[in-house]
Amino acid sequence: MTRRISRRSVIGVGAAVMAAGLGGAARAEAKPLRLVAFGDSLTAGYGLPREQGFAARLEAALRAEGIAVTVTDAGVSGDTTEMGLARLDWSVPAEAEAVIVELGANDCLRGLPPAEARRNLEEIVARLTARGQKVLVAGMYAPRNLGAAYTAAFDPIFADVAKAHGALLYPFFLEGVAMRADRTLPDGLHPNAAGVDAIVAGILPSVRALIERARAARP
């Protein structure tokens, strides 16, 4: 015997399926996105209470905008790009969906060869990308007292690496902070609380774009 299905029933089933789909999308959207800030003392909040560090202030700024996210501080003071590469696998868990890579300042402060920093950053970003994690590369400029040849070799590294791996780029992590006594600690290098807030305000648009990429990649 053939059972007739009414138009009302079809519409009802379609609405239920649509509601279920929207509900699933809403649940995926509501699930906090896992973001890791992977870097050196600039990420780690050197000289500041943890709640005033970059990761904590970035998470607070994003949540104030209604963005569900957890930002993990994976910064280690003194790290060069080589040191970051050596600890990459245990510092950035596979479950992380997005990563901000902020390394390189200590390479140039120590006068290490720019070619080494380039190789290390290439490997870091390549490995993160191969995992399916979305990456934002935070750039750095070499101190000008290192000479024109050094700065010409060092400064383009971050844009080149980001472009090669389809990562996002924030050109200069210390934009609006470097060389400003009111936004740095007495050492003149590390951001104070006001400096961290300035960094967060500057990088926020890039982080929003990173989060959009990571959300779009969710199953």
Active site residue 40: no
Q: Output the six-digit token pair for 176.
A: 């609006």
Over residues 81-91, mean pLDDT? 97
Active site residue 6: no
pLDDT score recorded for residue 2: 37
Distance CA 47, CA 52 (A): 10
pLDDT score recorded for residue 29: 57
Distance CA 214, CA 218 (A): 7
**Residues 139, 107, 101: CA angle, nearest 5 degrees:** 35
Task: Let me know: does 20 contact 37? Beta carbons within 8 Å.
Answer: no
Cα 81 to chain centroid distance, Å, stands at 16
pLDDT above 80: residue 107: yes
The per-residue pLDDT for range 37-52, each reduced to its tens digit, is: 999 999 999 999 999 9
pLDDT above 90: residue 32: yes
Active site residue 41: yes
The per-residue pLDDT for range 43-82, each reduced to its tens digit, is: 999 999 999 999 999 999 999 999 999 999 999 999 999 9
Q: Is the dihedral of CA 125, 170, 167, 45 positive or negative?
A: positive
The per-residue pLDDT for range 192-201, each reduced to its tens digit, is: 999 999 999 9
What b/e sequence results for 43-61 when a residue is b if at least 16 CB atoms lie within 10 Å of its CB, and e otherwise? Answer: bbbbbbeeebbbbbbbbeb
DSSP 97: S
Looking at residue 119, its amino acid is R
Distance CA 216, CA 93 (A): 20
Closest alpha carbon to 71 in 49, 100, 47: 100
Please pick, among 41, 73, 79, 107, the residue that the annotation labels catalytic. 41
pLDDT score recorded for residue 5: 43
pLDDT above 90: residue 112: yes
The per-residue pLDDT for range 172-215, each reduced to its tens digit, is: 999 999 999 999 999 999 999 999 999 999 999 999 999 999 99
Residue identified by tokens 């996210």 is: 69
Q: What is the mean pLDDT of the chain?
A: 90
Q: Output the six-digit token pair for 96.
A: 């992380």
Distance CA 123, CA 105 (A): 17
Provide the CB-side half-sphere exposure for 100 (13 A, CA).
35
For the entire predicted model, the pTM comes to: 0.87
Torsion of Cα atoms, 101 then 116 then 46 then 37, to 10°: 10
Please pick, among 40, 79, 155, 190, the residue that the annotation labels catalytic. 190
